[in-house]
Structure formats: C-alpha cells, structure tokens
Structure 1
Amino acid sequence: MEKYSTKIDAKWQKKWSEDETYKFDGSNLDKKLYVLEMFSYPSGAKLHAGHWFNYGPVDSWARFKRMHGYNVFQPMGFDAFGLPAENYAIKTGIHPKDSTFKNIKTMEEQLKAMGAMFNWENEVITCSEDYYKWTQWLFLKLYEKGLAYRKNAPVNWCPSCNTVLANEQVVDGACERCNSEVTKKNLTQWFFKITDYADELLEKLDDLDWPEKTKAMQRHWIGKSNGAEVTFKVKDSDVQFDVFTTRVDTLNGVTYVVLAPESPLVDEVVKDEYKAEIESYKEATAKQSEIERQSITREKTGVFTGAYAINPINGKEVPIWVGDYVIASYGTGAVMAVPAHDERDFAFATKYNLPITRVIEGGDLPFTEYGLLVNSGEFDGLKGDEAKLAIVKKLEESKNGSLKVNYRLRDWLVSRQRYWGAPIPVIHCDHCGVVPVPEKDLPVQLPYNVEFTPDGKSPLAKCDEFINTTCPKCGKPAKRDADTLDTFVCSSWYYLRYADPHNTEKPFDSEIVNKMLPVDMYVGGPEHACMHLLYARFINKALRDMGYLNFDEPFTSLKHQGLILGPDGLKMSKSKGNTISPDDYIKEYGADVFRLYLMFGFQYEEGGAWSDDGIKSISKFVERMERILGTALAAIKSGENNKDTMDKLEKELNFVRNHTIKSVETDTEKFQFNTSIARMMEFTNALSKYINEKDKNLNFLKDTCIDYIKLLAPFAPHLAEDLWEAFGNNDSVFNAKYPVCDESALVKDEVEIAIQVNGKIKAKINIASGLEEEEIKAAALDNDSVKAAIGDKTVVKVIVIKGRLVNIVIK
C-alpha cells in the first residue's frame, strides 16, 4: 500500500471526476437528500480555515448519508456581488468583475482539492447575467404583487461606503463592513414588504428542525406584540398621533409622551423657542444606530418640545418630549410614558424631574407587574385583561383607540447606492412615473465601464449609456433606476436555482424544484439568523403564494458551524497575522489529515483555536492506521497462522467493532464528528492489539478491516478509497453500504466488575455476564484480595450493581 499523500488525493479526485462518481441522479428522487452549505463570498483571494470548517465536515456528513443509500445533491456556487469587491477595486484599481472571477477560479480549485462531492455541473454565480437576470425577475414579480414598493424614509447611511444599510447591517452603531459610524438620512428607497408575512414567519418556526437559539433570535427580531393603539391630540392644534402600547391598563398613569427625533411630527409640534435645541438634538441622535438607542443599559436622553398632548382617557395635559430611545420606524414613532410602572420611563422621569403617578397597587416603584388599578377613576379595582378591555372599549367609543397587533420587524430595505450589484429593473419616466422593465428586456445589464468611486450618489447615475433610456410605455426619454439590489436579494433564492441552473426560459422549472426541495440539510454561520435566513424564508413564501412553489419553508433542517480562531485564540484577521491558510497544510499533510483535524479537534457547533500540534497528532494517527491496516492486509494475503474459531480475542475485537459502528452512526448523524473519530481511534487500538496476536481468524480480520474502512470513508475519503482498493475492491467505497451494528456482538460473555470494601476498590474480576446476584456476591467474597481486606471483621451488607461493581460493607 502506498503511503497517504497529496498524490493519493490527486489520484482519486481524477478518478471521481472521470467516473462521475458523485453525479446527481435527477431521475431517482425516492431517497433524495439535498445538502447545502451557505455559499462563499469571493472577496478574498483564497478559502481560509473557516470555509473548510463549513464545507469539509458537511461533505463528510453527506458521504455518510450516501453510504446509507441516499441520492445526495450537494451543489456549490458563489455569492459574488457586494461591497468588498467594489471597495477592493477602489483601493487597487482592479475592476470588481475581474477580481471576483479571478478569485472564483482560485476558490473553485481549492474546493476541488478538498475532495468534496460537490455537483459542479449545478454551479451558480450570482454576478453572472444568467443568474441576476432572474434576480431582477424576482424583483418584478414582487412589484407586481405589491410586495416591492418605493418610499422616502429615514435610513442607515454609511459615510465611508456611501450607501444605505439595513438595520441588520449596523453593529454597535457602526457599518458591519468598514466599522465607520453610521448616521441617519432621509432617502427615497426600495423596500420589500416582509412585514406582510410576519405572522407566518413567526408561527412556522415551531415546525423547523433548527437550533433553538436561532429560532429565538428570529422570534425576537419579528417581535410580535398584542396591545392597543391610542390616539393623543396635541393641545391647541389639529395635530394628533398614535402610540402603540401593550399596557393600556396603565393609560391613566401617563405623565408625558415621547416622539422619535426623526419623526416628522417633531417639526409640527415644537414651539419656536425650543427649535434650536431640538435641531441640535436631532443631529446628535442621527449618529447613533437603532440598536444602540434601544440598548437597555444605555442612559436615555431627551429634549422638551414646549408642546402638550391630551390624555384621551382622562383629559389631562402631558408634555411632549423628543427622546433617542424612540425609533420612528418602530410602532408609530411615539410612546406614552408611565414612569410608575416602566423602568425606562421611571429612569427618564427621575432624570428630568417629570411627574410619577401610581395607577397599579403593588410594591416599590417602578412596579411593572399586573395588579388592581388605582387612581384610574371608573376603572379602579379592575386588573389585567379585564382592565385592558374596559379601557379599550371606552377609547373605541370616543374613537381614540382600538386593539392592535404590532411587530418589531420592519420592511426589508433593498436598494443600495453602489455599483457591484444587480441593477434594479425599473425605469423612471416624467410622463408615466415608475415603469417596471418588461420581462423580455431582462437582464438589465450591469455596464463594465463605470466610475464607481463613492461620492454618496449611485455610480450608475454617472454612466450615461446605462442611465439614459426610453420609457417602454410611452417611448419618451427616461432614466433607469440608478441603485442596485442588496446582495441578500441574490442569496434569498439561490437554493432554488441550483436545482435547474441552466434554464434560459425561467428562473427554475417549478416541477423540478417542487420535487427537489425544500433543502433537507442547510449549514452555515449563526450570524445570518436575522438576515439571510429570514429573507430566504420570506422569498420562499412569496413565490409559493404566486404559484411557483408548493412548499412553505426553504430549509427543513439547519446546523451552524462554530468559528475557527487563530492560534492566539482570537478571530482570524490579516491585520493580526493569525490567519490559517489551508493550502500550506494540505501540501504538507494532505486534504484528509486537514479534514480529520478539523473534525476531531473541535466540536462542530463551537469551533476553537487552531493548533499545529493538533494536526501533527492527527497525521501520526493516520500513519499508524495505515501501518496497522497494511500489516493486517499482509497477514490476510499470507494465510499463515489462520484459525476458524471465534475465541475470546475475536469476541473482544468484535465487540469494539460493533460498538464503534453503533457509536459512529449515532454521533455522525448529529454532527458530533469529534466523538465519532474518537471512537475510530479506540477501534484502531483494538485492531492493533489483535493484529499482534500470533494466531488470527483471517476471514474475521478481513471483514473487520472492511468495516473499518467503510467507517473511515466519510472522514478521510481519499485514504479510504486507496485502502478499499488495496483490499481488493474495484468500485468506489462510497457505493458500498454503511456497516450495520450486530447487537448480539455487544452482549459480552464475560464482564469485568470492580469489588469495593467500604467504598475502596480492592479487586477487579471477570464473571459470566448472566450470573444471578447471589452468585456475584459469592464470587466477590471468594476473591483473595477481598478476603484479605475483610480480615476478621464482620460483613454487614453486600451491595451488587449488576455489570459494574460489588460494594462490601464491613465493621
């Protein structure tokens, strides 16, 4: 047998390709298994260890399932539009298209060197015209259904990237891409009405085999609240505004109201003498992110407008403030403050010396529980839902309120003022208004010759050949929309295109997709919980309602991989100099050793710090394994010292063999690769011990080695194929059936038990596994070491725990 090396990797990758070993059989969908890893973004020149940790172990799981008879579909592609390539172009002068496709070529080679079962014939690249044509089609379909719309709204603006950011792309008040401080701007933007699906997005989470933490994050992000909407009128004005509250029972305790700084209402109600202070406050607040403003640990600030509102339940005047903790895009952009019964309001009222009125009996203020109403006039003595319904009824009678459901989820802002993205397929005509590009004219091509240095305007607006066009309705001169789509739009439907990637007539054939999907196992980072994963669910449901799909959810099961850190325990980055490039390690050790280390060295869902010592240990394990199997093969071929019986040593090895099959089966199914490989190491030790015996049952040894290779195959595919061939097999090991545990082999003829005297182990003995309790006691008391420990003392009690130990109590 040849020693494992990159030469063996190349040998089997070539054969797999030539034989089309992993080609998906689309005609046989009885045991279809769609396995999908979140595709990579080719912003860097090469894959790093984190990519490998996402792709390698998942490929092993897919191989494991293939050996169980599944027809595995495992496509791969690239999420190729986006800011990093454009920023790189600005820095280096290399066009985004050129750098992106160069990087894709490099990453394709790296992924193929991994030896994964990827179905490259189904590859998808989102920046290719044959893909983004259909991303534009998706936009048009959403527009037709009223799910895409344009409006002026306050948006997150990154002054460095010079583009709008969705709320999810702002981290601690900074742009997730460049870490610049994010500000607020009022701009006319395109949105998708994801809020139309808020209820279903929430309700269907319970049916998904997803990590509970991810489902909890989506529930929180959607943020459904059952409450009431209450109308406040501004004193001496025709202006009125609504507030949403889940605690309408505390309405009599309102002592002030607060408007969001960016709310248009502020300018309508503010008194002249307060305008300068209000403007200054609005400018300061615009530099804060929504997440930062809503933080429970951050001190809240505010400014009085000089105006008053009328509490609709009791007619009292309450001051109108502007406060940074109120967000214009959440609820109505206004809140009623009940400082006696809300911690945030209590802190604000205390800071600004505002009135605090108790309206619920209970403990110390702020008292936030439910209780009997007090100081609430006709509602005194009511409690909880009874109080809420009574107050809402009175509000409805005066047309000042009603029951209401509210959501934290905002509509998805999809337009970006950047170049490297799918152009929005819309034309703006002075005569006809907004005109969708006819489907026959798709794709709206992204021009190559564009000046994309950021200046706050969309680069496409400066490209005459792109921006100037004619209106498809009236034929008069018109302008194209100059914005491009958020790259999350591209990735919101790619899992559908994989099933039918070469279709030139439509984005996908519904008949094919409805048979192939949903995705059975989806794997990727947990950071996408409230972006990609939520967006993909929305798009899937929208396409279902348009009649293109017949399933509700895109991803049936979901797993998250952990993060591979640098050797210093910190997140990898070029600036820290702690990045781990797989290529150098693969050249030295081979792809299988690299894969085995990633799976053995880390819990898959946790990750951890890279260790050179760890991969060296795995390399030694592989070398030892090869020596053992080589020795076994030589013994089998020689036929010397063969025996036909299954004696004690054979039974011991058979126990380990079947225990390993059972354990690896269970753990690999659950992505517990580290414990699976640990069991393989135990199997290796047992096999090594048996091989050193002079007389061996060679038929049994061969069967055991065959099972060993099958178990190894998903974790070290190249090495396993070579071993499989060496043991006389012509077909691929991945066309073989996975070993099945023989449960009878797990029933031992003998078991070892410990014997304690007063809790201290004095001996270990082997006994027949079927002995009764009295027989076990007798065997324990007959042991010489135990007799010596007891001496002339009296045995008070003998406790037997079958299969484990005997405890003898003496005094």
Structure 2
Amino acid sequence: MSEHKYVPADIEKKWQQYWEEAGINHTDEASDKPYFYCLEQFPYPSGRLHMGHVRVYSIGDVIARFKRMHGFNVLHPMGWDAFGMPAENAAIKNKSHPAPWTYDNIAFMRNQQKELGVSYDWEREVTTCKPDYYKWTQWLFLLFYERGLAYKKKGAVNWCPECATVLANEQVENGACWRCGTEVVKKDLEQWYLRITDYAERLLNDLDHLPGWPERVKTMQRNWIGKSTGTEIIFGIDKHDGLLTVFTTRPDTLYGVTYLVLAPEHPDLDRITRKSPKRDEIRAFVEEVRKKSEIERTSDTAEKVGMFTGEYAIHPKTGDPIPIWIANYVLPDYGTGAVMGVPAHDQRDFEFATKYNLPIQPVVQPEDAPLELPLREAYTGEGVLVNSDRFNGLHNLEAIDRISANLEQEGKGKRTVSYRLRDWLISRQRYWGCPIPVVYCDNCGTVPVPKDQLPVLLPEQVQFEVAGKSPLATNESFVNTTCPSCGGKATRETDTMDTFIDSSWYYLRYTSAKLETAPFDIEAANRWLPVDKYIGGIEHAVLHLLYSRFFTKVLYDAGLVNFEEPFDSLLTQGMVIKEGAKMSKSKGNVVSPEDIVARYGADTARTFILFAAPPDRDLEWSDQGVEGCYRFLGRVWRLADAHVDLFANRPAADHSGSDARKLWQQTHFAIKKVTEDIGERYQFNTAISAIMELVNAIYGYPETADVGTKLDAIETVLLLLAPVAPHVAEELWRTIGHRDSVHQQAWPKYDPAALVKDEIEYAVQVNGKVRDRVVISKDASQEEIQQLVLTLDKVKEHFEGKEIKKCIVVPGKLVNIVVG
C-alpha cells in the first residue's frame, strides 16, 4: 500500500510540466481524427485572473479534455485582447508606456492559466497588440475598404470627456461611458465607419440557423438589429425648396397627422430654420438636447420636451399646413430622423400634443362603437378608418397596404424596411489601438496604405495628456509621411480602431497563428471552423458576437471562408457572486484564484467552480463548498492509494455476486450519466454529483465482495474525473500502475446490460399519501408486492384497526392501499 498523501503543490506543477514537454495538449494538423474546435473568449490582460475567468476556462477545459478522450483532434487555444483604454489609462497614471504594463500582465495571467492546468495549445497564442497580429487587422480593414464597407463621414458621435475618445452606441450605458462611468456628450467629428447595416437582414435571418445558441442571446441580437417594416412618406415644406421624408409603421393614420417632429440632429433642420427669427433659440434647444443620452431621451418616464420651429410642412394628401417641431424623444438614427405626430393613436404623441396644446384628430375607431371625445388617452387598438377621405370604412390593417400603395402610385412615398442597427463607428482618439492604414494627400485625397507596406506601426514616442486629440497626432514623424500614390507629402490617419475589431476575427487567426503571408490559412480555417463550442459571458451577446458574425459574412462574400457563421454552438456562463453581489474590488468581496490554488490546489478550484451551479446560472461563492470539494478529492486519493497493491496483482472482475452486480451497475450508470451530462447537456454539476455517488458506493462496498469489480470502479472514477480534476486523475492513474497519460485514454463506455434494473423502488401510499418506500425484485408478482408492503411498520400504523378496501399495484412505480 502506498503512503503518499494528497498535497496538491507536490503534483500539480509536475504534471503541468510533463503535459507541456510531452505535447499532450498540442494540436496535430496532420491527424486523421475528427476535428473539434473548443474556444473560450480571450481575456483583456488586466493583470489578474478572477473567479469569473476560472469558471469559463474550467468549463472550456472540461469540454476540450472530454472530446480528446472521445477520439477528437481538439483545437483549444488562448490569446489576449490586448489593446484598449485600461492600458493607456495606466500608462498615463504611471507616466509609462502601455506596452510594458500589458506584457507584464500577460505574463502573469498566462502563468495563472497554466497553474489551473488548462489544456491550451500555447503554440497558438495570439496577442492583438503585437505587429504580427495587427498587421492583419489592418489588412482586413483594407479588405472592407476595397469592398465599399469602410468609409469616413462627419457626424454626431458619443464623446467621453474623461477618456477623450468616441464611443459606439453600444458602449454607452445609461448615458455614461462603459469604461469609466463619465457622462457622455455629443460631438461632431469626422469618423471611420463599417457598413454593418448592409448585412442587417442577413444578420437577422441567419439567427434562425443557429440552434446551438441560447434563445436569450438570439433575442438580444434581434432586438438590437431592430427591424421595422413601414412606409416612407414625403411631405413638402411650405415656402421652402426640398422635401421631408418621414418613416412610419402606421401609414393608416396618415390623415391623423397634426404635426411633424424632427430630431434636433436632423440634417435639414438648419436649412429649414435658416431665416427663422427663433434661430438662436432653436440652436440652444438643440445643444441642450444633445447632452442627453439616447436612453434618457427615449425612456417612457422621461419628459417629452419640444419646440416649434415656426415652419410648416405640407400634408401629401390634404395639402394642409402641418407645423414642424423638434423634440427630445426623436432620434436621428431611427428611420429618417423625422416622425409623424399622430396624437389620437400614439400615447407618446398624445402626451406631447396635450402638453403643447396641439390638435388631436382621431382616424381609427372601434368597429362596434365610436370613440368618446375628447380622448383621455390615445386609442392604439384596431378598427375602421374615419376622417380619412376615400379610405373611410376600411379596416386599419387593410388601410396600411392600401394607403402605402396609393402613395407609391402618386410618387409621394414607398414601402421600406428600417433598422435600429446603425453603421459601426470604429474610430477612437487613443493611442493603444490598431492604427488605421490610411493617409491623406492634398493631390490624391484619401489613400489606403498598400498591403505590402503593412503594418503601419505604432510609434513609441507620443504624448497622452493632450485632451481631445489622439496621442498619435503628437508624433510628427508618424503623422507626416509620403503619399503611396503620387509620392507627395501626406499625413497619416491618427485615429485607431475600436478594439472590438481585434476580437472580431481572432478565432480565425488561431487556426494558423504563425502564418506570415496572410491573416489565416484558408484551408485551415475551413477545416476547423465554425467553432464547435464557444464559451463566454452574456455581456458580449450584442457587441462581440454581432461584430464577429458580420466579419465572417464579409469574409465569406470575399471567398476567404466557406462558412457564414463563426460559432456553431454557444455557452454563456453565469457570474460568480459572493454575498449577493458580483465579485468586485469595490465591494470587497473578491476571492483570489491564487489563494485558492495555493491553499487547496487547482483541482479543488476547478471542481468547486463546476460543481456549485449549472454553467448558465450565477454561482454563489461558498467557502464551505470549496472545503467540501477538497475533501472529496482527498477521498478519491485515499481510495486509489489504498488499492495500489491490489492493482499490481489485478484479478479479473466477476460481478455475478449481488454486491458486485450492484457496484457494476452503478459504475455503468455513472459512465452513462457523466457522458451525457458533459457531452450533451453541459451540466457539469450533475456529472460531478454522479462521480461522488459512485465514490460513496465504492467506499460502502463490502471487503468480502469481488475485488476486480471494485478496481474497475476505481479506475472508472479516475477516467470520469480526468477532465474536471486533471492533476489528481493523472497522479492516481500512474499510481495504480498505468504508464500512459490518463488524458490520452479512451473515454469509458457503458454496458447497456448493466443498466437493466434487478430491483425497483416502489412508493407506498395509504389513501394516496406516500408513507414509505421499498425496493423489490423486478420479478416479484403483484401478490408478493402486496404482502411485503403490508408488513412495513411505517405503512401499518396508517391502516391498523381500519378496513383495507383495495391494494392497487402500479407496476414499476407505486402501491396504493385504500382503507375505510
């Protein structure tokens, strides 16, 4: 009998070093095994892993190890989303360069991941801030530019004064910067955009072809894309040249329009009000509204504030003058930035009209009764049209199509589709990001940098404290360059790209991480992708996942990949919380992974994080739960260690005896349960529970029963435990006499014959209430079952002294005794 004790520090580094030297986790491109791509979202190198990281990496590692043991050639890589504001902010604070801070953090976090025993192929590591990566990010930008999908325009953007940079709409949370929490304001700047709106319909429709995605995530993307089917209606402008186009989903209410409302940012507002005596007031109102966030302006509880421009539109059907207003609740990037005010049939319009004493004209009323006037609220139900000229009497749903067709016939409108999704604003006025490969020449205009001149390198010498100006603009040797087209003087673009660009294609780079001639090898990408299992947080459901899908579709259209979706199956894990709140330094409830690994070992950390909750739910941290998992691994250790000598002289299993048969059955039940819970349901907590139950059964196995059956069960425990607790499983696998790694073994298969029950548990009821349970041979007759249950003490006390009227046996389930 061996006497070495379970001391995690003694075994974990040993096996981590062995796995690395032996190439256990290396992906073999020449393998003829079926391919499986397992990927966790790569982290930002903030400096320390937290328990949320431990959770996602543990989930991914179990899947990767499980698939390897099932005979798959697994690609399981890791890298670093290394550009971004935190590194730049740290550099400003510490008066240093972002690069050393970033690379020091990467080194520390890489070591933490290795200490967890995660089975990454580190030869595939990518780092987005290295020139060998961002060269190809720039190459892809040029591909978008060549295909007409990258363009520059001036527009109102979200500006964070603290970070001195532009934010995409998605990066503004409750009116504040998602990074620093500073209130976001509007600013007019020339910015680079990607035409993601060209792909809006495909991005929406293709969600229906992703059965492996959680419905919650698909719903979030559908809502963000925000498709609306409606009609653009053209209004003339009184005493002005030009027209106003309004988008509406309710053309049936056209005759109920009593005013138009423009977004304060509407491009025609300045032209329409150029001669207005209220011009200064209008400009002041516009500036005040633009300080508010989109959420503040459109909230149901927000006050609707407007201003009359003094100008009028012309109704396309009646010719009546319609007052033109501007209001805070109309946004420039929905529809055309102009909406019809129909207060009788839209509650928001009703409140606005009531506040400013504007006319309210009903044009839809219930079929069974006229509306009671004056209206107390907007009528938004179905009905028939009134006050609508020749369309009177039509049901309003029919009128939608009839009025739209009439407008098209008269050239005053057209049916169209609008999306909430806006083009992706990618310009950032910061240093620590991928330079945009464009120069500006007085002779040639905007000129893309030739691909053979990439990468456009980030200069090291910049000034960070110049507010409102990109740090790149402070380096004259970077800014001033030569035009690639004419050879004359030119200046470089000084904005850098949004870091979501970097993470929109990294999963492709992993397939050929060292390739020097292209962003990825096309054959390798087509062989490995789409990613079979992608694991990450629900917080990336809109941003990262939508952008990655967009990138993939563009690459598909360019003939560079043969798939249109990047991620076949998606697992979104819940948060790790403690004391009812997400772990954070500000709340003082952070548990350090290093401390847990140092005290209990990586296997305990992994086992707890997988066992404490299903992966898609939040996990409540429990010190007692960690202790419990540590004790469980200790029990497994002692169980295998106590039988080393028996393994050395291992007898063949004979499960013909009653006890041996029970253990044999439970062993194969555990194999089936763990296989299905990991491989099909991804319910790691119940898989670990099944292993625990098997360990308990082995401990309760009689010493006099068949030894071979017991040894088979112990060996099975180690195989089933290997993806969860890889170090313990490896050490004990070798301890019981095996020479090859446990992680190179075939996953055990269950014997269907072992799952056929010899005995069945019956619930025993008296007058329909369960009073006891009893295990009975599956071959027992109804008479034998009845006789047995009538002898049970817990049952007898409920019928003694009473008349038994019936004894009903439901085969395989229950017995119900009916007494008078």
Structure 1 pair 608–353 and aligned structure 2 pair: CA distance change class (3 A) = farther
Which residue number corresponds to residue 53 of structure 1?
55
Match of 1:661 in 2: 671
CA contact (8 A) 1:6 1:591 kept: no
Which residue number corresponds to residue 515 of structure 1?
A: 527
Show the counterpart of 1:119: 121
State yes or no: 1:349 paired with 2:358.
no
**CA deviations over 1:281-315 (Å, ceiling 9, x no partner):** 22222222223322233232211111111121222
State how far apart, in whole Å, the 1-side matches of 2:750 and 2:655 are.
Answer: 21
Structural mapping, 1:707-746, within 5 Å: 707-746=716-755
Alignment of 1:256-335 (within 5 A): 256-270=259-273, 272-335=276-339
Residue 174 of structure 1 corresponds to 176
Q: Percent identity?
A: 50
Alignment match, 1:372: 384
What residue identity is the alignment partner of 2:693?
E
Aligned to 1:499: 511
Q: Could you say which residue in structure 2 is the equivalent of 1:474?
A: 486
Q: Once the 2 structures are TM-superposed, how far is the Cα of residue 573 of structure 1 from its aligned partner? A: 2.5
Question: Aligned runs of 1:665-704 on 2, under 5 Å?
Answer: 665-669=675-679, 670-690=681-701, 693-704=702-713
Question: 3-state SS of the aligned residue for 1:339?
Answer: coil
- Could you tell me how far apart the structure 1 residues matched to 2:567 and 2:654 are? 52
Q: Give the secondary structure class of the aligned counterpart of 1:156.
A: strand
Shift of 1:409: 0.6
Deviation at 1:502, TM superposition (A): 1.1
Task: Map 1:19-418 onto structure 2 (within 5 A).
Answer: 19-28=22-31, 30-42=33-45, 44-208=46-210, 209-270=212-273, 272-362=276-366, 365-418=377-430
Q: Distance in 2 between matches of 1:789 and 1:512?
A: 71
Alpha-carbon distance change, 57 to 562 in structure 1, aligned in 2, over 3 angstroms: same
Change (3 A) 1:806 1:459: same
Deviates more, 1:758-767 or 1:597-606: 758-767
Aligned-pair CA distance for 1:784: 7.3
Q: Secondary structure at the match of 2:364?
A: coil
**What is residue 15 of structure 1 aligned with on the other side?**
18
Aligned to 2:623: 612
Q: Flag the 1:172–1:765 CA change in 2: closer, same or farther, 3 A.
A: closer
CA contact (8 A) 2:650 2:708 kept: no
Question: Which residue pairs with 2:762 in the alignment?
Answer: 753
Offset of 1:754 from its aligned partner? 3.5
Shift, 1:789, TM fit: 4.8
Read off the aligned partner of 1:120 and give its amino acid letter: W
CA–CA separation in structure 2 for the residues paired with 1:535 and 1:67: 34
Contact 1:249/1:387, CA 8 A, preserved across alignment: yes
Decide which moves more: 181-190 or 621-630: 621-630
Q: Is the 8 A contact 2:665 2:755 kept in 1?
A: yes
| SS, match of residue 160 in structure 1 | coil
Q: SS at the partner of 1:51?
A: helix
1:602 CA drift (Å): 2.6
1:528, 1:788 → 2: CA distance? 60
Q: Retained in 2: the 8 A contact 1:157–1:165?
A: yes
Task: Note if contact 2:648-2:737 (Cα within 8 Å) is conserved in structure 1.
Answer: no
Q: 1:374 to 1:704 in 2, by over 3 A?
A: same
Q: Is the 8 A contact 1:643 1:696 kept in 2?
A: no
Task: Name the amino acid aligned to 2:438.
Answer: V
**Which secondary structure does the structure 1 equivalent of 2:86 belong to?**
helix
Moved more, 267-276 or 743-752: 267-276
Which amino acid in structure 1 is aligned with residue 238 of structure 2?
A: K
Structure-1 separation of matches of 2:596 and 2:316: 71
Measured against aligned partners, the alpha-carbon deviations of 1:642-697 in whole angstroms (never above 9, x if no partner) come to 9955322122222322222222122222221111112222112111101xx23121
- Indicate the SS of the match to 1:741: coil
3-state SS, counterpart of residue 556 of structure 1:
coil
Give the letter for the 2:228 counterpart. S
Number of paired residues?
806
**Compared CA separation, residues 638 and 96, structure 1 to 2 (3 A):** same
Instruction: Check whether the contact 1:572–1:578 (CA below 8 A) recurs between aligned residues.
Output: yes
Distance 2:664 2:803 in 1: 43
After TM superposition, give the deviation of residue 560 of structure 1 in Å: 0.7
Deviation track 1:318-374 (CA, whole Å, cap 9, x = no partner) reads: 211111111112211111121111122122222222222111112774222332111
Aligned AA (2:523): E
Residue deviations 1:253-294 (CA, integer Å, cap 9, x gap): 111111111122222223633333322222222222223322
What are the superposed Cα offsets for residues 687-736 of structure 1, whole Å, 9 maximum, x if unpaired? 1101xx23121111111111111111111000000111112111111111
Tell me by how many angstroms 1:788 deviates. Answer: 6.5
CA shift at 1:634, angstroms? Answer: 4.7
Q: Which segment drifts farther, 71-80 or 794-803?
A: 794-803
Among candidates 447, 453, 477, match of residue 465 of structure 2: 453
Gaps of 5+ in 1: none
Helix, strand or coil at the partner of 1:353: coil
Which amino acid letter does the alignment assign opposite residue 746 of structure 1?
A: L
Q: Does structure 1 residue 552 correspond to structure 2 residue 595?
A: no
**Secondary structure in structure 1 of the residue aligned to 2:16:** helix
TM-superposed deviation, 1:155: 0.7
Question: Structure 1 residues 698, 481: closer, same or farther in 2, change over 3 A?
Answer: same
**TM-score scaled by structure 2?**
0.95
- Cα deviations across residues 556-596 of structure 1 (Å, max 9, x unaligned)? 1111111112x332223223322222111101111000111
Distance 1:322 1:137 in 2: 43
